[in-house]
Amino acid sequence: MLEFLKKEFSEENIIFFWMTVEKYKQITSQEMPLNRSKDTPLFKSKEVIIKKRVLFWVDLPNKKSVDVKVKPTRAIRVVLKPILHKYGFKMDSVDVYLSSHAAVLDLEGLVSSLDNQRVVVIPKDDCPDDDLCQPRKLHPAGA
């Protein structure tokens, strides 16, 4: 069974979760990524829940980096707004780039376009000249 799951769900953006249900309706629920090295007995009398998620990283102006796991159908603006608010930034006062591109990111697009990538947030007032604000110069890809 484990081989079947590996073949069917080998994409990196799909994370496996499992839930253990105990006797007498005592439910112990643990949302933990599945250890793929475990063998089939792990699945005996267990329910496997498969959820598709997008994983990406956000580099903030204060040198913090946040990893984000979200449903792929959400808008980039909707996902980033609470993260920026938590760290004291406003959507109106920042520009958002992919670390591999110099163009400003379309915040109305879906987060599925950000899968396994790094997003760089730069304050607008720090960007008087476009050549100075290219994310590649500030944050090399993979840094």
Per-residue pLDDT tens over the stretch 81-136: 999 999 999 999 999 999 888 888 999 999 999 988 999 999 987 654 444 454 44
Is residue 49's pLDDT more than 60? yes
Please give the structure tokens belonging to residue 21: 């249900």
What would the mean pLDDT of 65-82 be, rounded to a whole number? 93
For residue 125, the model assigns a pLDDT of 77
Q: For residue 66, what are its two tokens?
A: 């946040």
Residue 138 CB-half CA count within 13 A: 25
pLDDT score recorded for residue 35: 57
pTM: 0.60
Beta-bridged to residue 119, according to DSSP, are: 58, 98
Domains of the chain with bracketed CATH: 2-52 (no CATH), 55-138 (3.10.20.90)
Report helix, strand or coil for 112.
helix
Task: Say which residue, 138 or 48, is predicted with more confidence.
Answer: 48
Please, which residues have CB within 8 angstroms of residue 125's CB and are 6 or more apart in sequence? 93
Structure confidence at residue 57 as a pLDDT band (50, 70, 90): very high
Which of 92, 82, 89, 81 has the alpha carbon at shortest distance from 63?
89
Cα 28 to Cα 57: distance, rounded to the nearest angstrom = 31
48 has pLDDT over 80: no
